Structure 1
Amino acid sequence: MKLSDKLEILADAAKYDASCASSAAPKRDSVGKDGIGASTGMGICHSYTPDGRCVSLLKILLTNYCLYDCQYCVNRRSSNVPRARFTVAEVVKLTTDFYLRNYIDGLFLSSGIIQSADYTMELLVQIARELREVHQFRGYIHLKTIPDADPALIDAAGRYADRLSVNIELPSHDSVARLAPEKSVHTIKLAMGAIRRRRDEAHAEPRAPRFAPAGQSTQMIVGADASDDGQILSTAATLYGSYQLKRVYYSAFSPIPDSPASVPSAPPPMQREHRLYQADFLLRSYGFQADELLPAGGNLALDIDPKLAWALAHREHFPLDLNRAEPHLIARVPGIGLRNAQRLIDLRRHRQIRYADLSRLRCGMKKVAPFIITADYFPARDSTSSSQLRRALADVAPQQMALWPELKAA
């Protein structure tokens, strides 16, 4: 098979993995002895790091052959899809050639399981090792680790990769046992724990070799099982707290031809995935707890964002006097983000906040107005019911949302 044909198959097979990002990638220099592949340049944009650097990644599988038969996976053992496999040399060549053509700044590499977990993981590590040591590649490398592999191999992967990820895929033990019988949540969490410990050790000793400096991430599939958003967010919160993950990624389940009867025949609304990302951001950055966003479980609202849903359910806090309120409550006002919350705190040290100040900060005034008090703006408390506000502030009409599953399936 031609290399171009392999690339077409294995790049397409990798598109279902959402945990592909470059946040927290370290800065490097490709000048002189430091090697090639600095992740500071501009190329084909796939993602931006927190400090604004654009990082484009070659995202491929080493192979889509797989011993496992995970029911939700397009590359499962029983799936009728074209198969291909790169050699180690081919992946190294593609990565270096694409970088020298300014197509990419880094590599995201995953794989199906071939022969054994150890054998597959050893190949992934070999690719990263050759890129770093033979070709002096200083671009970003994200390796998908295989939790069943020997811990020594995962340890080696962390020495060469910027980020490691171990996909948990489903939020409950029962769902993993039913839909991915060759996998074990216990084994996955052991691998996550080992990565966290090695990172902690590297941070504690300044002279220690670096280990996955961009951290670790995972992915959960949305809509492949009966788990609701409450379960998904609760699992995500536990993973963040226990393993110090950088990100949990959410991927809406996408049925493929000849999908087994054990998984749904239709995808969930794409808006559900979007709301989970919004809720996840509230967990990581705003101090929300999962049970605050969904105290009774169930799914997030599709017509309004999770922050607005929380505010409508807690009208006792609003309207909030921005000149007196605690900083963490200002950040919970719909339409005010973290940066603007801090700007408002800084401003009120010098003078009182006025309504026009929020407009100048480009806050979402339609959402902000019912929830705030300023020096010159005093809306009446509870002057509008939560249901009326919800209808006025909803992102889309309900009839549009009803069409999304059918549109995605088409």
Structure 2
Amino acid sequence: MELLRKLEILADAAKYDASCASSGTASRNSVGGRGVGSAEGSGICHAYAPDGRCISLLKILLTNFCVYECHYCINRNSSNVPRARFTVAEVVRLTLDFYKRNYIEGLFLSSGVIRSPDYTMAQLVEVARCLRQDHDFRGYIHLKTIPDADGELLADAGRFADRLSINVELPTQQALADLAPEKDHRTIKLSMARIRERREADAEARRAAARVSNRPRGARRPPTRFAPAGQSTQMIVGADPATDADVLATTDQLYRSYRLKRVYFSAFSPIPDASVRLPAQRTSLVREHRLYQSDWLIRFYGYRHDEITAGTDDTPGNGMLDLDIDPKLAWALRNRAAFPVNLDRDDRERLLRVPGLGVKSVNRVLQLRRWQPVRLADLVAMKADVRKAMPFIICANHHPGVGEVTSQRLRARFAPPAEQLALDI
């Protein structure tokens, strides 16, 4: 099969994997300025780095042949799709050629499982090893690892790749048993634990070496860090009956237990010749978006996963997020007794609960109030969402009246028009 035809098939097959972020890696600088693909900072496939640059990764599968029969996967063993397989040398050649043409700054490589998990993982590792050692490639590499593979292969992967990821696939073990009978949450989490242990051991070894080393600065290149950009995972949402509360509980547990950098959510989309066990309709992209917003609240705003979907005494929750409004506003409307928040007096934790105020805005408010009272104009200058924040705050020139606006009216004010929501769904 011609290389371009393989690329067409295997690049298209990789589009279902959302967990291809590259944030958090350190630059692999070459000695003397040499090396191929040296790229500063971080980036995501067809997205923007923190410094504003658009970064692209070559995102492909090594092969879309697979011995597994995961019902939700278009590349499952029984699927009637065109198949292709790259050799290690072909992936290396494509990566270097694309980089030299300034199309990409790194590689995201995944694969179906062929022959055995160990064989497949060894092929993925060989691609990364060849790029790093044979071609001195300094760009970003993200490897999707195989959970059942030997621990030493995972260790080798972490020596050459910037980020490793293992897809947890579905929110619950029962769903995984029903829809992916060859996979097991326990095996997946064991591999995650191994990666975490390797990263922690590597970090401790580097700290110890720094304490005792008298090596002159710049005398030689320091040892490569183990998976410096950490690990991530992905969950399919809507393929099983799990609620948003179930998804967020699993997400929170993964962050706490394995120190993941990111958990990605992928809204279920029907595939050709699908199993009768799968839904006939695709999952709303709005639901996926609300889960990402909730994930942000857990990681950066101090929310517990269970309070994001919790109901009230008057309106018990059903475990699902409100699709009409963002989860932070939904929580505020359910907990009006916690407001208004005084921008000049209340602590950071309370300020972070105010709709319309992000982490950067809250940090600027805390700095500003040391010198002067905070006013609405200051929030405007910070580019905070003042209209959304006003019903929930007290500041120098604003004090909302008690019961001035009901929760129902606020919800109607900030919910998108029905026709816009229909487009997003």
| TM-score of the pair, normalised by structure 1 | 0.95
**CA deviation string 1:38-70 (max 9, x = no partner):** 123999972334455543100000000000010
Q: Which amino acid aligns with 2:283?
A: P
SS of the residue corresponding to residue 265 of structure 2 reads strand
Counterpart of 2:362 (choices 322, 331, 341) is 341
Q: Partner residue of 1:384? A: 405
Asked whether the 8 Å contact 2:339–2:393 carries over to 1, the reply is yes
Asked whether the 8 Å contact 1:366–1:393 carries over to 2, the reply is no
CA distance in 2 between partners of 1:44 and 1:195 (Å): 21
CA distance in 2 between partners of 1:236 and 1:368 (Å): 28
SS of the residue corresponding to residue 235 of structure 2 reads strand
What's the offset of the Cα at 1:402? Answer: 4.6
Is the deviation greater in 372-381 or in 183-192? Answer: 372-381
CA distance in 2 between partners of 1:337 and 1:309 (Å): 16
Q: Which amino acid aligns with 1:192?
A: M
1:257-268 matched pairs, under 5 angstroms: 257-268=272-283
| TM-score of the pair, normalised by structure 2 | 0.92
What's the offset of the Cα at 1:403? Answer: 5.9
Tell me if 1:275 matches 2:285: no
What's the offset of the Cα at 1:192? Answer: 0.2
Q: Which amino acid aligns with 1:350?
A: W
Is the deviation greater in 108-117 or in 330-339? Answer: 330-339
What's the offset of the Cα at 1:366? Answer: 1.8
Q: Which amino acid aligns with 1:287?
A: G
Is the deviation greater in 209-218 or in 132-141? Answer: 209-218
Is the deviation greater in 85-94 or in 327-336? Answer: 327-336
Counterpart of 2:299 (choices 273, 284, 303) is 284
Tell me if 1:354 matches 2:369: no
CA distance in 2 between partners of 1:362 and 1:285 (Å): 19
CA distance in 1 between partners of 2:41 and 2:204 (Å): 31
SS of the residue corresponding to residue 143 of structure 2 reads strand
CA distance in 1 between partners of 2:43 and 2:347 (Å): 43
Q: Partner residue of 1:306? A: 327
CA distance in 1 between partners of 2:139 and 2:22 (Å): 11
Change (3 A) 1:376 1:386: same
What's the offset of the Cα at 1:218? Answer: 0.1
Change (3 A) 1:167 1:255: same
1:169-180 matched pairs, under 5 angstroms: 169-180=169-180
CA distance in 2 between partners of 1:130 and 1:377 (Å): 62
1:89-128 matched pairs, under 5 angstroms: 89-128=89-128
Q: Which amino acid aligns with 1:251?
A: S
Q: Partner residue of 1:398? A: 418
Q: Partner residue of 2:350? A: 329
1:1-20 matched pairs, under 5 angstroms: 1-20=1-20
**CA deviation string 1:59-111 (max 9, x = no partner):** 00000000001000010011111000000000000001100100000000000
Q: Which amino acid aligns with 1:247?
A: R
Q: Partner residue of 2:243? A: 228
Change (3 A) 1:220 1:7: same
What's the offset of the Cα at 1:142? Answer: 0.3
Aligned positions, number:
404
Change (3 A) 1:402 1:55: closer
Identical positions, percent: 58
Is the deviation greater in 343-352 or in 381-390? Answer: 381-390
SS of the residue corresponding to residue 288 of structure 2 reads helix
What's the offset of the Cα at 1:381? Answer: 2.3
Asked whether the 8 Å contact 1:34–1:138 carries over to 2, the reply is no
SS of the residue corresponding to residue 68 of structure 2 reads coil
Q: Partner residue of 2:313? A: none
CA distance in 1 between partners of 2:70 and 2:51 (Å): 37
SS of the residue corresponding to residue 205 of structure 1 reads helix
Q: Partner residue of 1:316? A: 337
Q: Partner residue of 1:74? A: 74
CA distance in 1 between partners of 2:32 and 2:84 (Å): 37
**CA deviation string 1:146-199 (max 9, x = no partner):** 010011101100000000000001000000000000001000000000000000
CA distance in 1 between partners of 2:243 and 2:133 (Å): 45
Q: Which amino acid aligns with 2:291?
A: L
What's the offset of the Cα at 1:363? Answer: 1.1
**CA deviation string 1:280-317 (max 9, x = no partner):** 01111111110110124521111100110111111011
